[in-house]
A = this chain, B = another copy of it.
Amino acid sequence: MQALKIMKQFMEPQSVALIGVSRYTGEGAFNILENLLSYGYQGRIYPINPSVSEILGVKTYSSVAEVAYDIDLAVIATPRSLVPQLVKECADSNIKAIVIVAQGFSDASDEEGKQLQKEIDNIAKAGQARILGPNTFGTANAFINFSSSFVKIKMKKQPIGVICQTGVFFVGFSEIAFIGKGIDLGNACDISFSEGLEYFENDSETKVVALHIEGMQNPKAFADISQRITPKKPVLALKTGQSEQAAKASQSHTGSLTGRKEAWQAAFKQAGVIQVSDLEELIDLARTFSVLPLMKKSKIGVTTISGGLGIMAIDACKNLGIGIDRLSPKTQKLLDTMAPSWLKVSNPVDIWPLMMTSQPVMKPLIDGLEALLADHELGAVLFIGAAFDEKWGTGLCHLLSELAAAHQDKSLVCCIYGPYAEQTIKEMQDADKVVGFPTPERAMRALARLNEYSLLRSGL
């Protein structure tokens, strides 16, 4: 519980000291204070800079000792040589949670770096304070508009908790403002995956946890706590640094020992952690698990305006070892009544010929989707359609979001092609009801992994 209390100071600070914050602001200044103000953080901020009296209208202090109030979190952003002394000052001022932004500690190849690392390790070991980093963006929490990142980031109040060893996840990706809450471990000299997981285990605002792991000191503790969480929340993991060369690069990136590939695979499996194969899958699954319900059945229904993409969806199922099965008699009968006489409808339902022989043209598409969503034998539905233009895209987004809201027991994903696909997929992301993908293979992969985890949760 002690660790959990400290983690709350890191993740939900009510007051923060910014040590070494610069008087320079604006583009290219990477000013943490400026970022915090722009997010609208409501906690107390104490900039520490002995050379000026205020920055951006906020009163500055010459040192943390000068601040007469409790400080939950200190963020140290100075050249590396100053860091040990500042950490000591924080500990002396009873600050228990410290983020060290600077690089050049265990990630450095010189002796000074190793020596500096040792000095801060000693303070942490003595129990005077807990340290996040060095070489880190720190933490982010969209729910309180807080981040210690010196790069200004986009956050979104979404139930995705990230523990990573690179600031990339704070900066995010086009498809997803990744961070609901984030912890960049950097070199992970003290705070590591275990403490992060313990925080997210107990955090009601987090529904899925995504991990980016280069390496760690204590895999046993990680396995134990993961095993405790995965029956309650899905945990996704991208393990990088799988080759000797990557391990070497990782040594100079975060000073991590990366470990053997097979050992990691076995450990993830044992703990119920969902291991992904690459960055794209991590993004896809974080989006999927944060939005969709678990699957009550393994069967997937597919309806598509493109027969050709429907076939790719079947190919993907075959490769993933899941099935697009025969539809239940009731659903089959319903679809048969909608089809032209020459067409035998099956799953995937090729809806385009039905649309071409119907007025209004959209009716078979909507009715077909309704039929699949109402089928109790199906756990999930994939819709494949096109955003021919902006209006079509927005229309699809509204239609699918409404259908998903009316069928909350079903996981609805879609594959969108056409010139407005990206925009439409983003709109769906914002609407938080359906998950969109640009290809049928990625949509099916997401459902396959959702199904795997759903089976794990149901004890099968």
Contact = CB atoms under 8 A, between A and B. Distances in A.
A439 interface: yes
Q: How many copies does the complex hold?
A: 2
Given A171-B417, A306-B166, A420-B174, A110 B342 contact: yes
A108 interface: yes
Nearest to A384: B168
Interface stretch (A9-17, A40-48, A264-272, A313-321): A313-321
Interface in A88-138: 103-104, 108-110, 112-113
Contacts of A287: none
Contact of A388 (B151, B308, B343): B151
A151 B385 CA distance: 13
Interface stretch (A63-71, A190-198, A237-245, A373-381): A237-245
A421 B255 CA distance: 29
B152 A315 contact: no
A340 B104 contact: yes
Contacts of A250: 311
A246 interface: yes
Interface string A142-167: 00000000011010000000001111
Contact of A165 (B308, B344, B388, B423): B308
Interface in A413-460: 417-423, 438-442
A252 interface: yes
A458 to B, nearest CB: 26
Contacts of A177: 419
B306 A168 contact: yes
Contacts of A386: 168, 171
Nearest to A421: B174
Given A311-B214, A315-B240, A419-B174, A439 B279 contact: yes
Interface stretch (A52-60, A224-232, A293-301, A346-354): A346-354
Nearest to A350: B253
Contacts of A420: 174
Interface string A381-400: 00000101001000000000
Contacts of A167: 306, 308
A84 interface: no
Interface of A: 27-28, 103-104, 108-110, 112-113, 151-152, 154, 164-168, 171-175, 177, 212, 214, 240-243, 245-246, 248-250, 252-254, 278-280, 306-312, 314-318, 324, 340-344, 346, 348, 350, 353, 356, 361, 386, 388, 391, 417-423, 438-442
